[in-house]
Amino acid sequence: MNNNRMKIGTIIAVLVVLSVLPFLLDSYLIHILNQIGIWVILTASLNLMVGYTGQLSFAHVGLFAVGAYTSAILTTSAGFSFWTSFPIAAIVAGVLGFIIGLPVLRFKTHFFAIVTLGFGEIIRLTIYNWRDLTGGPNGIYNIPFPTNILGLDFALREHFYYLILISAVLVVLFVKLLIGSRTGKAMIAIRENENFALFVGINTWKVKIFAFTLSAALAGFAGSLYASYNSYISPYSFTVSESVSILLMVIIGGMGTIIGPILGTTFLIFLPELLRSVSEWRMVIYGGLLVLTIMFMRDGILGLIKSFVRKKKHHSEKNLLSTGKEEAAIAGSERN
Amino acid sequence: MGDQIIQSILDGLVSGSIYGLMAIGFTLVFGIMHVINLAHGELYMLGAFTTFIMVGVYQINFFVAILAAMLIVGGLGFLIERYIFRPLRNTAMLNTLLASIGLSIFISNLVLKIAGTGMRSIPTPFSDKSFTIIGATISTHRLMVLLLTALLVAVLFWVIKFTKFGRSLRATSQDQDASALMGVNINLTYGLVFAISAGMAAMAGGLIGSLYVVDPTMGLGPGLKAFIIVILGGMGSVVGAIVGAFVMGYAETFTSLFWAASYQDLVGYILLILVLLLKPNGLFGGAKR
Amino acid sequence: MLEVKGISRFFKGLVALDDVTFTVKQGDILGIIGPNGAGKSTLFNCITCFFPPSKGEVYFEGKKITGLNPFQITELGLTRTFQHTQVFPKLSVYENITTGQYVMKRKDPSRTKRQLEQKAHEIMEFVGVSEYKDTTAENLSLGYQTRLAIGIALATEPKLFLLDEPAAGMNPEETKQLVHLLREIRTKLGVTIILIEHDMKAVMGLCDKIVVLEYGKKIAEGTPQEIQENPRVIEAYLGSEALA
């Protein structure tokens, strides 16, 4: 109970700090935070599939692109405002996710991975080739900012910040509530043991298609924000490299946890900024980090912190606890 | 049009045989070690670069350079198996898949940082002399590529079928534990399989690099295509990989002929999805899903 | 309670199951034995609708279940365990059991959260994993993982329970405890049981009736006594595994 109260306290404190940041930081740092916020939505959506349902999807950057392009086309050519286009972008991406999911979710593990990768590439190549609609390799310019509401001017990064912050907080909260629900439990059961999940009465196929559709819609929503914030998109923003980057963000933070992907996203976007001299080595570092994470740190940063805390606790209670069990638990958390 | 079709048939033959080299290596590693190596395309790229450096910069004989590239990249493959895939053996297959993706991104971007983009091509000793076969032309160069590929595949088949090493390969792919009991050195076998696979990719890279251009990102497409071909042909089947490679080669050449070259890359993925929907175990699949 | 009528299953021209027919009475423990590759697991998969039989039908309490989905038959009161990975490895023991209760919301919506929690604790007690309540399942020993798997299945409150080689990899002491647990499931909970098992001693001691498969065909059916004396069975096992 006490622990819970502390958690809520921490969350409120973090939110308060986050909401006053635009008054404290310079515009460039706000820009980085905005990028982080958008990617947090995308990684939360991917985490739903990879971390909670246990399906390694490479289609998410494609669905992110679909959201971005839907929103961009609606706001530039069709004269929609951001406020009407973002729900449409989410729905279009969700419907496409559903359609892709129908055939794709029959496959498991590496087959699922490669088929989703295939669909992601099909989306990117379609965007690249459908010049009349998407501008092909040139992309779409001059995507308008959201029209002003509540006295906020979204042409200002500091004001856009609040839109992104609220969106990210709502999405993360939504994912958290979903995971705590009956459907969330079913998703985790599928990740843990798909065959056995059937025999505790879970309609695994229905749960998977639901998760995939929902996560596609969230990716589409992130795309819509991305297009409007950056006011320019092109097929080069949605490549396999981006797929690997978001996957790494989820994995390195700690997949299948709420905080993990947020940590991972923040870490990986800040890293090249902190080390300016190496920022152009970004993808080299990401690639290397992915290998190292898989080899040595499969539970991510969060897993590392947890096992560190547990070890500390273990030290202080050394005389009270039977050591064997505790060590087994720690070894287990590093996944054998 | 008729001439163009015959020309495309010859072009498809060349790209199919290059894909074959890639896919056989990929399928060997999968069939024997159950590892999906998405960095396979980067080994192909490294093969092309190694050959380019030796021929272009140090003026070494083309054939010697290809052979040396195969050895160097093969050695690198051996090390990759030893230090990345061996520690991940017996964990979930997705772990090796993810590690190999990381490796792929790492290698291609590293080479990109060091070498930069820019057009490079491997100079070759072949004359521009061409042969005309029923209305289509094929250069000595391309003919050489075909012959070399066929030769390597023949050697590989011979090794698998008739040598002691080939027998231990087949035993290991059947049952890792049992073959270990029978005295097969699993670690060495796996390392060599990976080295052979890497060497074949390097040769494919060297040959393609002499026909077209050498570029740090050249491996991404063929690496993924090798995976698709292997799924098309049935995971772990060498014959399936060869057939799948030609299906892919021809599908691409004819798409580019009848539709547009820019749609060429889409073909593989569409084929993949169709085959998986209609025949989930691949064209020659006896293997598990 | 369960009627298996002429089940056949073909894989690419191979006959994995050939016209297998038998019935199971309410409250019985039925054992299925046979050499490796005899089609025992295939039979299980067909009965539990994990995949459909090529021919034949299965009736559960007079209702045809062939063609249904596994999650639907779980709701009807039929569940199973698998041979190797049997639990939800990254969840705690308690979470494993509550995951097993997933179906209860559809089966008996009147049950309160409180009642379900109570029931989960009873089940942990019953299968003997209470003291590991908060342990991550993958850190349990094999014997306890099997107990937990049985607990998860019991949480669905089945009438018929199929177990695929529960004693695989267990030492004699663990096997003895398992046999005891299965007997209690029958007597105290009134659950009918079908099990595949290689441990002949366990099978002979536990089962009321045994079905013997060889090359996908049923070659014998009867009480343990009858099976042990059946010449056809002795022949099938000769040289491979001796009957205890």
Q: What is the pLDDT of residues B120-143, one digit of tens each?
A: 888 877 766 777 766 667 777 888
Residues of chain A where predicted confidence (pLDDT) is lower than 70: 1-2, 276, 313-336
Domain assignment present for C210: yes
pLDDT over 60 (residue B223): yes
Task: Tell me the per-residue pLDDT of B77-125, one tens digit each, with 9 for 90 and over.
Answer: 999 999 999 999 888 778 888 899 999 999 999 999 888 877 788 887 7
- CB contacts of B232 in chain A (<8 Å) are none
Nearest by CB to residue A118, choosing from B109, B220, B269, is: B269
- The reply to whether A147 touches chain C by the CB within 8 Å rule is no
- Give the closest-approach CA distance of A17 to chain C in angstroms: 34
- Give the closest-approach CA distance of C68 to chain A in angstroms: 12
Q: Which overall architecture, per CATH, does domain B2-278 show?
A: Orthogonal Bundle (1.10)
pLDDT for A333 equals 38
Q: Are C140 and C132 in contact (CB under 8 A)?
A: yes
pLDDT for B81 equals 94
Please give the residue of chain B at the shortest CA–CA distance from A105: B277
pLDDT for A320 equals 43
Q: How far apart are CA A126 and CA A118, in angstroms?
A: 12
- CB contacts of A329 in chain C (<8 Å) are 135-136, 139
Domain assignment present for C215: yes
Mutation target to probe the C interface, by most C beta carbons within 10 A, among A193, A302, A335 is: A193
Cβ contact (<8 Å) for B102 and A128?
A: no
pLDDT for B205 equals 92
Q: Domain limits of chain B?
A: 2-278
pLDDT for A336 equals 31
Q: How far apart are CA A221 and CA A214, in angstroms?
A: 11
Nearest by CB to residue A201, choosing from C50, C149, C156, is: C156
Nearest by CB to residue A202, choosing from C85, C102, C153, is: C102
Based on the domain organization, do C150 and C162 belong to the same domain? Answer: no
Contacts 24+ apart (CB under 8 A), A112-115: A112/A55, A112/A56, A112/A57, A113/A56, A113/A57, A113/A58, A113/B94, A113/B97, A114/A58, A114/B227, A114/B228, A114/B231, A114/B272, A115/B272, A115/B273, A115/B276
pLDDT for A314 equals 62
Single out the residue in C124, C155, C186 at which a domain terminates.
Answer: C155
Cβ contact (<8 Å) for B101 and A119?
A: no
Q: Which residue, A58, A67, A61, A64, is CA-closest to A107?
A: A58
Domain assignment present for C27: yes
Single out the residue in C155, C182, C200 at which a domain terminates.
Answer: C155
- Give the closest-approach CA distance of A324 to chain C in angstroms: 11
| pTM, to two decimals | 0.86
Sheet with C192-196, strands from edge to edge, namely C78-80, C160-164, C192-196, C29-33, C209-214, C217-222
pLDDT for A330 equals 37
pLDDT for B287 equals 39
Task: Tell me the per-residue pLDDT of B256-271, one tens digit each, with 9 for 90 and over.
Answer: 888 777 777 788 888 8
pLDDT for A325 equals 40
Q: What is the CATH number of the domain that holds C30?
A: 3.40.50.300
pLDDT for A63 equals 95
pLDDT for B2 equals 66
Based on the domain organization, do C166 and C207 belong to the same domain? Answer: yes
Based on the domain organization, do C23 and C54 belong to the same domain? Answer: yes
Cβ contact (<8 Å) for A193 and C85?
A: yes
Using a CB–CB cut-off of 8 Å, the residues of A that contact B are 56, 103, 106-111, 113-115, 117-119, 121-122, 125-126, 128-129, 240-241, 244, 247-248, 251, 280-281, 283-284, 286-291, 293-295, 298, 335-336
pLDDT over 60 (residue B154): yes
Domain assignment present for C82: no
Q: How far apart are CA B19 and CA B7, in angstroms?
A: 18
Based on the domain organization, do C164 and C231 belong to the same domain? Answer: yes
- Three-state SS for C77? coil
Please give the residue of chain C at the shortest CA–CA distance from A336: C138
Based on the domain organization, do C121 and C176 belong to the same domain? Answer: no
Helix axes B62-80, B40-52, angle to 10 degrees: 140
- The reply to whether A138 touches chain C by the CB within 8 Å rule is no
Please give the residue of chain A at the shortest CA–CA distance from B269: A118
**What is the pLDDT averaged over residues B159-180?**
78
- CB contacts of C86 in chain A (<8 Å) are 193, 196
Q: Which domain, by its residues, includes C187?
A: 2-77+158-243
Residue B283's pLDDT band (boundaries 50, 70, 90)?
A: low
Helix (H) or strand (E) holding B50: helix B40-52
pLDDT for A250 equals 92
pLDDT for A319 equals 44
Nearest by CB to residue A185, choosing from C48, C85, C99, is: C99
Residues of chain C where predicted confidence (pLDDT) is lower than 50: 239, 242-244
